[in-house]
Chain A
Amino acid sequence: MTTTSTPAVRPNAPTGRASAFTTLSAVAVRTALKIARSPQILGIAVVQSVLFLLMFRYVLGGAIGVRGLSYVDFLVPGFIVSGLLFTGGGGAVAVAEEAAAGLYDRLRSLPVSSVAVLAGRAVTDAGLMFVVGLVTLAVGFGVGFRTGAGPGHWLVAIALLVLYAVALAGIFVWLGLVSGSAQAAQGLSILAVPFSFLSSAFVPVETMPGVLQAFASWQPLTFMVNTWRGLLLGDRVTATFDHPLGFYLVGSLIWSAVLLGVAAPLILRAYRSD
């Protein structure tokens, strides 16, 4: 078995090294193929999202009054944005499963950029969150959501939804890496509940008691929800805001940058830990 004199034959020796872009797209394509071939991943996410939309619209909605707006108009933008959190939880579970299967050990043993690997994963998760958001939005129109927004506002709103999805996807990749198991990741994903309920997504924050209201007014989701709501509903809703729409828009951009800035080093640390 010993080969002392024969030089190693290496017909598969690579000629270059993978660029960050190649790495990112290879990981993103792998993840996207996996999602596309497992209809249950997208299916469950859509069903869950639509089910909750219908329950808020027809079960709780009747009991919630919002100044100057029908509840369905108030609800749908908030629901689409906070829905990113619920879909994102599935990404955390998938990351935990891949870690347990040894995928990240293999990827870390390859001569590629860690940042690109993780970005590839996060981008695909964000894509799934975005698609589920769009489907839910279509259902929202079906159950009575109406907006007078022009194409400009729509364009900005859609672009922002993509940005929010990317910013939040990073957090879920991190949760998936630190959770240690799919079950734990599932458990951690429950964090979506307090964050979405303690925001302006489902009810106006003014109705909440002191401490909760302070938290709800300043947490990232409220900035994102108010921006979306303002862009799609215009004066009908911005008239009720404490601050002009620009305040929420800039605030949501700052929060997105902070979430990514905080998540990136945490994710890298979790990914590289022994």
Chain B
Amino acid sequence: MEPIVEAHGLVKRYGDVLALDGLDLVAPAGQVLALLGPNGAGKTTLVRSIATLTRPTEGTLRVAGHDVRTHPEQVRRAIGLAGQYAAVEPSLTGLENLRMVARLFGHGRREAKAASERVLEQMGLTDAGRRLVKTYSGGMRRRLDLGASLVGSPRLLLLDEPTTGLDPRSRNELWTALEELVEQGTDVLLTTQYLEEADRLADLIAIIDHGRLVASGTADELKSRAGRDVVDLQVREADDLDRAAGCLGPESIVDRSTQRITVPVTGGADEMLALARALSEQRVPLADVALRRPTLDDVFLALTGRPAEARPEPETERGLAGDAA
């Protein structure tokens, strides 16, 4: 099958800033692809280019087989876009919001109503459909926004940080809704800073940094590419962190907030015990020691040299810029 997104040597320059720097990416149809990367890596620029909102400076980009530069209209007929801001109008009802978008997608009056009702049900918003959106919770708004990109039944759904700023429960609800969509055969391309989100939703993960593709593959492939297991050590006293890290070698990574040090190892349990013994000889009391498979966090760190920036934090009231209007 033809790839749903195909980018070759994609460059986007904003003045002196290179947001995309020769990016190559192929997203096969029938898959969920997660773009993972730190802030400013170029994820949003790529999504905006795919959505025909931003014109690439150089390179080629085909979406559902259409060149974004020469056939933006065909691309728009194939995609649905939902962003981190809920672009739904608070003083309209959920149904009214969806019907307007459905009409713009090309539905007739009656079809628009039917499609909107179907989407409301799909998003679990049937009961709230006739209420004004200003009475919705942050998570409900985000689901309605997602629904608005679905009333036209796009082949490719583009989600730019769909759960940024949502509390864990709303995040879970949105994930469940997305999983159902995927089962029904919608291709999804999403950007995220949450490794957990990529791990849970995506078939394929593309790691982007400095406007280039750094690595891509399934979560398992990426984890095994990072190769080595990881030893997690937690010290009892924060003051011991630097001394312990010095003793554990240059590859150790310190997380001060949790008083943890992680060290990649090749020697399995023996090496873990050796490390623990070394610290004990230095009189560093340990709270916890564990050997584990690498997580996407470790992969990310190994490939980009930085930890993934954002941590899921409940911030229920963010991303509701639509409130103001």
Whether B324 pairs with A97 at a CB distance below 8 angstroms is yes
A269 interface residue per 8 A CB criterion: no
Chain B residues whose C-beta falls within 8 Å of the C-beta of A18 in the assembled complex: 103-106
Contact (Cβ within 8 A) B53 A109: yes
Contact of B107 among A3, A14, A97, A107 (CB under 8 A): A14
Given contacts A15-B108, A106-B87, whether A111 and B77 have CB atoms under 8 Å apart is: yes
B100 and A26: CB pair below 8 A?
Answer: yes
Task: Identify which of A28-36, A125-133, A188-196, A224-232 touches chain B.
Answer: A28-36
The size class of the interface chain A forms with chain B is: 35 or more
CA A22 to CA B104, docked complex, whole Å = 7
CB distance from B81 to the nearest CB of A (A): 4
B interface residues, how many (CB within 8 angstroms): 60
* CB of A182 within 8 Å of the partner chain: yes
Shortest CB-to-CB span from B124 to chain A, Å, is 17
Known A4-B30, A8-B186, A16-B108; contact A29-B100, beta-carbon cutoff 8 A: yes
Within 8 A of B (CB), among A1-48: 1-4, 6-18, 22-23, 26-27, 29-30, 33-34, 37-38
In the assembled complex, how far is the CB of residue B37 from the closest CB belonging to chain A, in whole angstroms?
A: 19
Residue from A17, A27, A100, A106 in contact with B106 in the complex, judged by beta carbons closer than 8 Å: A17
Kindly state the separation between the CA atoms of A151 and B157 in the bound complex, as whole angstroms: 56
Bound state CA distance, A13 and B78, in angstroms?
10
Residues of B within 8 A of A29 (CB): 100
Whether the pair A102, B83 counts as a contact (CB closer than 8 A) is yes
Task: Return B176 CB to nearest CB of chain A, in Å.
Answer: 13
Contact assessment for A102 and B87 in the assembled complex, using a CB-CB cutoff below 8 Å = yes
B30 & A110 in contact (Cβ 8 Å cutoff): no
Distance A27 CA – B153 CA, assembled complex (angstroms): 21
Bound form: Cα–Cα A274–B51 in Å: 11
Segment at the A interface, from B89-97, B223-231, B308-316 = B89-97
Report the minimum CB–CB distance from A81 to chain B (whole Å). Answer: 28
- Which A-B residue pairs are the 5 nearest by beta carbons? A8-B185, A14-B106, A12-B153, A274-B54, A97-B325
| Apart from A1-B203, A106-B87, A111-B77, 10 more pairs, CB < 8 Å | A6-B185, A11-B118, A12-B115, A14-B102, A14-B107, A16-B106, A16-B107, A18-B105, A29-B100, A102-B85
Contacting residue for B89 out of A12, A22, A34, CB 8 A: A34
B:123-140 near A, CB below 8 Å: 132
With A1-B32, A9-B184, A30-B92 known as contacts, the answer to whether A111 contacts B106 (CB < 8 A) is yes
B185-A105 in contact (CB<8A): no
- Does chain B have a CB within 8 A of A184? no
Residues in B neighbouring A3, C-beta threshold 8 A: 30, 182-183, 185
Q: What residues on A are CB-neighbors of B92 within 8 Å?
A: 30, 33-34, 37
A254 to B118, CA, bound (A): 50
| Chain A, interface SS category | loop
Contact A112 to B104, CB < 8 A, known contacts A8-B155, A14-B152, A38-B91: yes
Contact B85 A101 (CB under 8 A): yes
- In angstroms, how far is the closest chain B Cβ from the Cβ of A40? 11
Minimum CB–CB distance for B153 against chain A, Å = 4
B119 interface residue per 8 A CB criterion: yes
28 A-B pairs whose Cβ atoms sit less than 8 Å apart in the complex: A1-B32, A1-B203, A2-B30, A6-B185, A7-B185, A8-B155, A10-B153, A12-B115, A12-B119, A12-B150, A12-B152, A14-B106, A14-B111, A16-B107, A18-B103, A30-B96, A33-B91, A37-B132, A38-B91, A100-B321, A101-B324, A102-B83, A106-B82, A106-B83, A108-B53, A109-B80, A182-B324, A274-B14
Q: Which residues of A contact B (CB under 8 A)?
A: 1-4, 6-18, 22-23, 26-27, 29-30, 33-34, 37-38, 94, 97-98, 100-103, 105-112, 182, 274
Contact A109 B179 (CB under 8 A): no
Q: A1-B182, A11-B118 are in contact. Are A22 and B324 (CB under 8 A)?
A: no
Q: What's the least CB distance linking A173 to chain B, in Å?
A: 14
Q: How distant is A95 from chain B, measured CB to nearest CB, in Å?
A: 9
> B84: nearest residue on chain A (CB-CB)?
A102
> How distant is the Cα of A48 from the Cα of B52 in the complex, in angstroms?
41
Query: B231 → chain A, closest Cβ, in Å?
Result: 32
Q: Tell me, yes or no, whether B31 is within 8 Å of chain A by CB.
A: yes
> Is B189 part of the contact surface with A, judged by Cβ < 8 Å?
no
B69 within 8 A of partner (CB): no
In the complex, chain B residues 181-224 whose Cβ is within 8 Å of any chain A Cβ: 182-186, 201, 203
Residues of B within 8 A of A94 (CB): 325
- Contact partners of B149 in chain A: CB under 8 A: 106
* Nearest CB on A from B319, distance (A): 9
Residues of B within 8 A of A12 (CB): 102, 107, 115, 118-119, 150-153
Q: Report yes or no: A274 in contact with B185, Cβ–Cβ below 8 A.
A: no
Is the CB of B322 closer than 8 A to any CB of chain A? yes
Chain A residue nearest in CB terms to B324: A97
Closest B residue by C-beta to A5: B30
Q: Does B148 contact A (CB under 8 A)?
A: yes
User: Interface digits, B64-75 against A, CB 8 Å rule (1 contact, 0 not)?
Assistant: 000000000100
Interface contact B87-A103, CB-CB below 8 Å? yes
